[in-house]
Structure formats: structure tokens, C-alpha cells
Copies of this chain bind each other. A is one copy, B any other.
Amino acid sequence: MQRFFDSIYRVGNEARAALQEIIRERTYSKNEIIQEIGSRCRTVYMVKSGAARIFYYKEGNDITEHFAFENEVIVRAESLFTGKPTAKGIQAIDDTVMVVIDSVKLFQLYDEYHDLERLFRLIFEREYVNTLKRIENFQFKSARERYLELVDSPNLIQKVPLKYIASYLGITQVSLSRIRSSLQD
């Protein structure tokens, strides 16, 4: 995990030690709710092993907004960055080990360690860029095209139930099933 951070931005030794102080590790079992719907996001998670998703309910339907796999950061950004509660939750898709960072403490450290603010700025900029790519996918790609792109990420296709993938793609499970069968496999 330190390697992951370093690959983005190497912080000084003091900053590294300070960050280490507020990091802990936690294990979640498959399907466990990591953060409840309706709560505030005051935690930055990084998936050490396993997988997790951000989800919410729309008219009774469970919708997956985001997946995170090994070495990926997962936060409910619309809450983390605004301080407001969010209608989204985080759930373990698999037995999952998380690196857990208290965001309140982290943001305090930003004042003291410019380095840390930069590291996490860069981390979240990446997330932002990924989100923009997702917008492109929704704008004028068919569900079939969107699915075909996902098929290339083995992590996702292997680990994640199709019902989660369907809502992630913005279609029903039935629709996804139809698309898959039309790909003669």
C-alpha cells in the first residue's frame, strides 16, 4: 500500500509517519455493510484485498454506482467533500481487507503536511478522471458497448454478480442477460 502511495507521490518521512499514525486496517466479510446509507463519509478506504461497491436505492431498486478492487481508493466523495450525509452506502462484495483512514484526521494533517494534501489531491484527481470516463460511456454508448468494455476488466467480471454489473451499466438485469446471450457464448 505504501508502494501504491509512492507510485502517486512520494511524501517526506515525517508526513509518512504522521499518515501511518491515522491508518488502520479492518476486515469485512462478504456482503457486510461498510458504511451505512444516510451517513456522512468521514473515512477514506483503500482496498487491500477483496472488492467493494458504492450503492444506493432508487425507487426500491439497488443500484451500484461504483466498484473498487485491490489497490483502489473508495470514498463517498459527494459526502466526503461536502460534509453532507449521502444516500449512498458502501458494501463489501467479497471478504475484504480495507486500509482505513480517518478523513477528519487526514484533513487536519493537510494543514501540517503540505505533502499529504498533495498526495491525496493527486489520488482524488485520478478518481475524478475515471468518473469523467464513465460519463463518456453513458453519453452515446449503447449498453452493449458499455458491457463489452467491462468484459476486459477480469477483476470485475469474475468477482462481481451480474445484477450489480447491470445497474452499474444503467440497465436492468434482464437487459444485461439479453446482451450477454446475444454475444453467442
Chain A residues in contact with chain B, CB under 8 A? 58, 61, 63, 65, 77-78, 81-82, 110, 114, 117-118, 121, 124-129, 131-136, 138-140, 167-168, 170
A63 engages B140 (CB within 8 Å): yes
Is the pair B129, A81 in contact by a Cβ cutoff of 8 Å?
A: yes
- Asked if B81 contacts A125 (CB within 8 A), the reply is yes
A114-B114, A131-B132 are known; give 20 further A-B pairs, CB within 8 A.
A58-B139, A63-B140, A65-B132, A65-B135, A77-B128, A77-B132, A78-B129, A78-B132, A78-B133, A81-B125, A110-B118, A117-B121, A121-B121, A127-B128, A135-B135, A135-B138, A139-B167, A139-B170, A140-B167, A140-B170
Residues of chain B lying within 8 A (CB to CB) of residue A61? 140
CB closest residue in chain B, given A122: B81
Q: Are A58 and B140 in contact (CB under 8 A)?
A: yes
Q: Check B77–A129 contact: CB distance below 8 A.
A: yes
Copies of the polypeptide in the assembly: 2
Q: Which residues of B contact A82 (CB under 8 A)?
A: 129
Q: Which residues of B contact A133 (CB under 8 A)?
A: 78
Q: Give the nearest-CB partner of A54 in chain B.
A: B132
**Which of these, B63, B110, B136, B167, contacts A65 with CB under 8 Å?**
B136
Q: Assess whether A81 is in contact with B140, with CB atoms less than 8 Å apart.
A: no
**Distance A167 CA – B135 CA, assembled complex (angstroms):** 12
Q: In the complex, A136 Cα to B88 Cα: how many Å?
A: 11
Query: A138 with B140: in contact, given A77-B129, A118-B117, A129-B77 (CB under 8 Å)?
Result: no
